[in-house]
Amino acid sequence: MSEILKKSGNTPTPHIGALKGDFAKTVLLPGDPLRAKYIADNYLNDAKQVTSVRNILGFTGMYKGKEISVMGTGMGMPSIGIYSYELFNFYDVDNLIRIGSAGSIREDVKVMDIVLAEGASTTSAWAEMYNLKGTFAPIASWELLYKAVKTAERLGSKTVVGNILSEDAFYNDDPDSYKEWQKMGIICLEMEAAALYMNAARCGKNALAMFTISDNVLTGESLSAEERQVGFGKMMELALEMQI
């Protein structure tokens, strides 16, 4: 019956081709849909594909007896803004954990290190839609952040916790703009977390963004596209083990 309803277009949103109940309460959100498939194929038992609209692949399966979902989001705040809002509001998801890549702007935070975003500063005007009379500080859910830190300790995985920067532009006309943020203690640069955190706050839900460093602006180190797709095993396992 579920497949018949999907084919008839009877789904809650035009962006996610799943029915209510198809997603677990916790969803991992890699930007790359193929990374979502990799996680489903290599870490989940009895994984079922629940959406493929616009090739944004989503799956639900079991990890060590716990139901969990994983779905790609694409790149940028407008994209993750749509998917996170719909997962929270139309699919009754409680926890969204972004598992992405980021560029380090600190010499001591190296390629393949894991960063947990306690806060997400931003160059985006995303918060303007809420008509706030001040500056909103997008922060992680303490419950998820604490759980991630304790799980990393249990696994023996080193993490760096702190403030990151969510940018609208990947290609910046000022190549040195990161220096102004660096002096404020920003760890790394990415493009999604601030919108995710603000949507979670507005919806009364939980969100956490974690990153594997894929390149370092200062040293020039960088991972290939294939390495980014399949080489983030420690971060994937951290996100999954948080559920146990």
Contact residues for 150 (Cβ-Cβ < 8 A; gap 6+): none
Catalytic residue among 108, 173, 174, 215: 215
User: Is position 174 annotated as part of the catalytic site?
Assistant: no
- CA nearest 155: which of 235, 39, 243, 238? 238
Contact residues for 228 (Cβ-Cβ < 8 A; gap 6+): 32, 35, 101, 214
Contact residues for 197 (Cβ-Cβ < 8 A; gap 6+): 120, 138, 139, 140, 207, 209
Alpha-carbon distance of 161 to 25, in angstroms, equals: 25
DSSP symbols for 153-218: HHHT--EEEEEEEE-S-SS-SSTTTHHHHHTTT--EEESSHHHHHHHHHHHT-EEEEEEEEEEETT
List the catalytic residues. 215
